[in-house]
Amino acid sequence: MTTVAVLGATGSIGSQTIEVVRAEPERFRITALAAWSSVELLASYAREFQPEVVAIGNPGLAATLRMEVPEGTEVLVGAEGYEELATRAEVVVNGIVGFAGLGVTLAALSSGRRLALANKESLIAAGPLVQPLRATPGAELIPVDSEHCALHQCLRSSDPEGQARYLHQLVLTASGGPFRGWGSVELQEVTVEQALEHPTWAMGPKITVDSSTLMNKGLEVIEAHELFGVDYKQIEVVVHPESIVHSMATFTDGATIAQLSEPDMRLPIAYALAYPERISTPFGSIDWGTNKSLHFEPPDRKNFPCLDLAYSAGETGDTAPAWMNGANEAAVDAFLSGRISWPEIANLIESALNQYDGAVAESVEAVVRADRRGRECVATDLSDRGR
Ligand code: MG
């Protein structure tokens, strides 16, 4: 029996983690649950799974939660409560959205837990701080991102420990998002509704917009570099609209190994919970009895400049990814609230990166500061533009 903590329990990743646990009740037991503000759903999960501890991010909802959860359940509050809760199970699923997930990533690894990481931003923004914590006895970092879960499986084919041995390159696949093939004139007119229509994956709004700009893929390039210790020159991105091949690894002898399934996040979640074993409930298995075609094409780097902005921030290293990630979160917020057009997301990030100060990622404070500075660059730019 593996004990599981789910942070961001009421979001997209959290709810799908709950489904995996429901499917395999003999294998997994939820002992800790946390959500930011969806108190009713959190309480209903607590009544179903009877965890030892729950946490609510928004302190104003703590009293409501206390009344709704089974007697004897410990209730924690706020960011500190999250970090405490992240030490209370063998596997910690970090499904928090955005940079706010950093504290949980650091807490889970430094307490020697397996971190099932869906919150890629914490690894991307704070790679230099997260890396040494991976050496904590018992600590383990398994990605809950379909591409990186695929890469994790591909790398195991040439090294049982999943090290990047005999590797020529990692090939990250991208669906291309809803605007694949669109020209610059059409992209000027993109609406929020259109950007939230992902062709193959149903996800939260922030990551869906990131997918439409290819920033999500850029962040995933940095994530792959951090997870597997592979040089940026050895990470390739290829557009694959069907989202069936989740990523590939090409080895020095010319062989490419790929992992395929229907797009279903429950598969990477279950992989991270059960590794090195596999669960017996299939999620996303392909029906090979029907006709299928798979397509691959290079990304349009000109109309989707966020991809190369991310490569550049990654290669700069230190606090540049945090700076860029902060700028991106602010720009995506501005787009979602109707203040800027879709192409301005990339403009604002580029302008923020041009102001990067080169600060070393020596502490959590340095990373938090870079994140804040990235956001401030966007805010200043917006007010200069009268938005
Ligand atoms: Mg992904």
In-domain check, residue 190:
no
Mind spelling out the 3-state secondary structure of 258-304?
EEECCCCCHHHHHHHHHCCCCCCCCCCCCCCCCCCCCCCECCCCCCC
Rounded Cα distance between 298 and 237, Å, is 7
Compute, in angstroms, the gap from residue 274 CA to the centroid of ligand 1.
Answer: 19
Compute, in angstroms, the gap from residue 110 CA to the centroid of ligand 1.
Answer: 25
Per the structure, the complete domain to which residue 40 belongs is given by 2-143
What pLDDT score was predicted for residue 376? 98
Compute, in angstroms, the gap from residue 84 CA to the centroid of ligand 1.
Answer: 27
CB contact burial 253-285 (16+ within 10 A = b; e otherwise): eeeebbbbbebbbbbbbbbbbbbeeebeeebbe
Compute, in angstroms, the gap from residue 357 CA to the centroid of ligand 1.
Answer: 29
What pLDDT score was predicted for residue 161? 84
Enclosing H/E stretch for 182: none
Residue 43 CB contacts under 8 Å (≥ 6 apart), including other chains: 64, 65, 68, 69
Please determine, for residue 25, whether its predicted confidence score (pLDDT) is greater than 80.
yes
Give the number of domains in the chain: 1
In-domain check, residue 311:
no
In-domain check, residue 189:
no
Please determine, for residue 285, whether its predicted confidence score (pLDDT) is greater than 90.
yes
CB 261 within 8 A of CB 185: no
How confident is the model over 216-225, as a mean pLDDT? 97
Compute, in angstroms, the gap from residue 259 CA to the centroid of ligand 1.
Answer: 13
Q: What is the pLDDT of residues 42-86, one digit of tens each?
A: 999 999 999 999 999 999 999 999 999 999 999 999 999 999 999
In-domain check, residue 95:
yes
Compute, in angstroms, the gap from residue 138 CA to the centroid of ligand 1.
Answer: 26
Per-residue confidence band for 274, with pLDDT thresholds at 50, 70 and 90: very high
Compute, in angstroms, the gap from residue 216 CA to the centroid of ligand 1.
Answer: 7
Supply the CATH number for residue 114's domain.
3.40.50.720
In-domain check, residue 279:
no
Rounded Cα distance between 87 and 109, Å, is 9
In-domain check, residue 227:
no
Rounded Cα distance between 372 and 125, Å, is 12
Amino acid at 159: D
Enclosing H/E stretch for 354: helix 342-354
Q: What is the pLDDT of residues 191-212, one digit of tens each?
A: 999 999 888 887 788 989 999 9
The residue length of the chain stands at 387
Q: What is the pTM of this model?
A: 0.94
C-alpha torsion sign, points 160, 278, 120, 176:
positive
